[in-house]
Amino acid sequence: MSLLFPLMAFGAVAIGIPIWLHLRRRDEKDLVEFSTLRFLDDQPVAKARPLWPHHWPLLLLRIAALLLLVAAFAWPYIEDDEPVIVEESRVYLLDNTLSHQRESGFENARDEIADELAKQDLSKQISVIELSTTAQTLVRFGDDPNQAADTIRELEPSAESGNFVDAFRAASELLNTSLGSERSIILRSDSQSNQWTVSQNAPPFLDADIRVELPEVSVEKLPGVSLSDARSGRFTRNGKSWIQASVTITRQGDPGETEIAFFDGEKEVFRQVVAWNEQQQVDGYAGTVLTEWESDPERWMLGKVVVQAERDALESDNRTYFSLPPVRPGKVELISNSLFLKRALDPTVMMDRWDIRIANIEETVRDKSDLPDVLCVDARMLLTDRVRKKVRDDLSRGCGVMLMVDESNPLIAGFLRDLGIDWQTGERQQTEPKTFRYVFGEHPIFAPFRSSELGNLAEIEFSGYRKLQVRDAVPLAFSASGDPLIFEVAAGAGRMLVFAFSMDRKDSNWPIHPTFIPFLDKTLTYLRGQPTSVASFEPGEAVTWELPPGVDAEQISVESLNPDGSVDSAAKPQLVDINDREARFRAPGKPGNYGIRYGTEPRFDAVLDVNPSPLESELRFEPQPAAVAAWTLPEPENTSEITEEDSAIALTDAEALQQPYWWYLLIAAVAAFVAESVIGAAIGRNQ
């Protein structure tokens, strides 16, 4: 028998304290007895020192309890005992990405790890980290083996994508606190090449004594096809609404005969056999398949593309999803004398995309059931108090405002100053016709014009504008002189765009240019803030969803949708709280169309199109990745100075910490104290 903490044994000296206190009791001195109280003392002080205890069993029980407590904290252990020693600490990295679904790879690895946990081999510490978009520790050292095995068996395969470096870092941190003399990281994955190349040059973090077990993978190229980058849009032909959709199909190896089909909901709208020609038989070839069909513009379009090949190693990437919102005409209230705006917003010109209402500046009451989505107003109309109130009210309720500064006036200048815009001069800047010097091409109102399909904005000329200075606004376009011409103002829940010129020929040739009508349409659409579907999210990707203008809710619901647009009742919705008009969540782990519902609204207002990463379709694997060596730390230089005696002492300490004898002593000490309390209470009642 030895003690791991022998200094704690000195605590046994404490048993003399109660004995010493008991024996030092004496008669009290200098007592003054009062005649009225001398006979009331029911507990007289002993006249002699009690040198001999009256209750030996009680005293011995107290001493035994104290000695047991001291012995427990001294941590006794038996050197010749054979305790259960943790020989190995291992961390399983379970790859739960899309490519690992090939040939049931994920299911087989999951069941293997669960069976290993269920064995309850106490000589091994086991932890499990799931690798998907992020590295998540599912089982830690010391978790109940049965519960851990059930947790692993309940895992479902996901379509997410991730790399190995974060999982290896998490495994290294777990092993730094492990008890095993051997430490291992066991990777259960298909060892995709692109999962290793990301962060391959990360600084080393793995200890040199950690053993890494890699899977046996095939080095041959596997045949297959995959789909990605689905796009769609609406257009009008012969007075009817049509949808044009395209998808990228990627070939790897020789997939054989391939067929592709497009679906609008549950209806198949296009099917084609892909005939690979000599130029397309190159490994990694990516081509585009395009089609179009007539569709109802008043309903959500939930689309899907499916491809089937004669030989395909991974069928989980053979479909992709896309969607389009219904066409709901926006409402525009126009308070302007611009003839060009009135004609451009005519329903016959805008193809019924916008309902225009030309307002009277003298009207005092608005119909609440017919409030506009966008207010277009000339600055000269702001001279009327009713118009200024309309602008403020619409911005506060989330309506968009398009303001054209066509006149200089102190009252107008004061209104603009409240919006963070100052006059540099009150006069109209006369200039020779010049074009834009710079436009913010990434902004939604300019992004469609980066190609020449809708016209060339470089042909727009300005002969006059108001010189404004921006304080709390974002400039979107500048004149040749460097003055801001268009900027966005943050002035409430709604969006506001301010133009430093009028929409008339006196300031610019824009109203008669071919880009005017499409630009006006894109501008009104942006100001309206109409929710649209988003097709760029991958499974498990972090999503920051902003509430559109005019929408007020405390929570959003993300729900799986059936092809017909109904909610999939078998799938549990994801509820997300809203903070500062933003909802932060992770995209669902399975591909598909997901509706977003605000609060308790009966219909969904937007759609998430969740599709797997194209990286998961790259079926190339690394049997001996160079990243493992790059992540491994060099061996310590003083390794040779560690003697066998040092190693034995460290091993003995580890063994001693795992022996349970100190628990037995601690339990016995608690039991002795409880018995002492019971016996002491019984003696006190009998006296």
Question: DSSP readout, 155-216?
Answer: ---------SHHHHHHHHHHHTT---SEEEEEEES--BHHHHHTTTTPPP-B-TTEEEEPPP
Residues in a beta bridge with 610:
537, 592
Give the mean pLDDT of 636-664.
Answer: 54
Give the mean pLDDT of 614-618.
Answer: 90
User: b/e string for 624-645 if b means 16 or more Cβ within 10 A?
Assistant: ebebbeebbeeeeeeeeeeeee
pLDDT value of position 643: 43
pLDDT value of position 92: 97
pLDDT value of position 29: 53
Q: What angle do CA 333, 334, 339 make, to 5 degrees?
A: 150
**pTM score, two decimals?**
0.67
For residue 636, the one-letter residue type is: P
pLDDT value of position 662: 65
Q: How confident is the model at residue 473 (pLDDT cuts 50, 70, 90)?
A: confident
Give the mean pLDDT of 504-514.
Answer: 91
Comparing 73 with 566, which gets the higher pLDDT?
A: 566
- Residue 123 pLDDT > 50: yes
User: b/e string for 156-167 if b means 16 or more Cβ within 10 A?
Assistant: ebbbbbbbbbbb
pLDDT value of position 65: 77
Distance CA 492, CA 399 (A): 9
Q: How confident is the model at residue 77 (pLDDT cuts 50, 70, 90)?
A: low
pLDDT value of position 19: 67
Percent of the chain whose predicted confidence (pLDDT) is above 90:
39
Q: How confident is the model at residue 669 (pLDDT cuts 50, 70, 90)?
A: confident
Query: Which range has the worst mean pLDDT, 313-317, 461-465, 557-561, 642-646?
Result: 642-646
pLDDT value of position 31: 58
Q: How confident is the model at residue 645 (pLDDT cuts 50, 70, 90)?
A: very low
Q: Are 545 and 392 in contact (CB under 8 A)?
A: no
pLDDT value of position 594: 94
- Residue 2 pLDDT > 70: no
Comparing 22 with 608, which gets the higher pLDDT?
A: 608
Residues with Cβ < 8 Å from 482, sequence gap 6 or more? 437
- Residue 528 pLDDT > 80: yes
Give the mean pLDDT of 623-650.
Answer: 67
Distance CA 187, CA 192 (A): 12
Query: Which range has the worst mean pLDDT, 243-257, 429-443, 636-650?
Result: 636-650
Say if strands 354-358 and 330-335 run parallel, antiparallel, or are unpaired.
parallel
Give tens-digit pLDDT for 231-276. 998 887 887 889 999 999 998 888 888 999 999 999 999 999 987 7
pLDDT value of position 674: 81
- Residue 167 pLDDT > 90: yes
Comparing 203 with 20, which gets the higher pLDDT?
A: 203
